[in-house]
Homo-oligomer: A and B are copies of this chain.
C-alpha cells in the first residue's frame, strides 16, 4: 500500500532539497508556520512534491523535490518564506543542514 506520504516524482533528472533539522524545545508557533510553508511551496512553479518526517526527539528530515535550480532559488527568495527562514534560524531550529542535490537515478517498490 502506497500512502500519500510519498512524493510522486517524474523520471530523473530533477532536484532535491534535503533539509535535516533539530527542533528547539516548545512549540513557538512552529506547526502553524510549517503548514503555511508547505501550502505555499506546493504552489510554486517547479515544485514536484515533498516527503517529511520528524521523530519524537525533535530530529526531522524534509526532502522537497523541484524541477530545476531556478525554481529552488525563487522559492528561497519568496518574501513570506524569507521571514519563516529567519524565524527558523532564531526560534525553531537548534541546528540544521540544507543540501541541494540533483537526482540522477530513482527506484521504487511498487504498491503491494
Contact = CB atoms under 8 A, between A and B. Distances in A.
A11 to B, nearest CB: 11
Given A22-B2, A51-B20, A53-B60, A93 B109 contact: yes
A42 interface: no
A63 interface: yes
Interface in A81-112: 89, 93-112
A100 B60 CA distance: 20
A16 B16 CA distance: 10
A interface residue count range (under 10 / 10 to 19 / 20 to 34 / 35 or more) = 35 or more
17 contacts: A1-B22, A1-B95, A5-B22, A5-B59, A7-B20, A51-B61, A53-B53, A53-B59, A54-B55, A93-B109, A95-B109, A95-B111, A96-B109, A97-B109, A101-B101, A101-B104, A102-B104
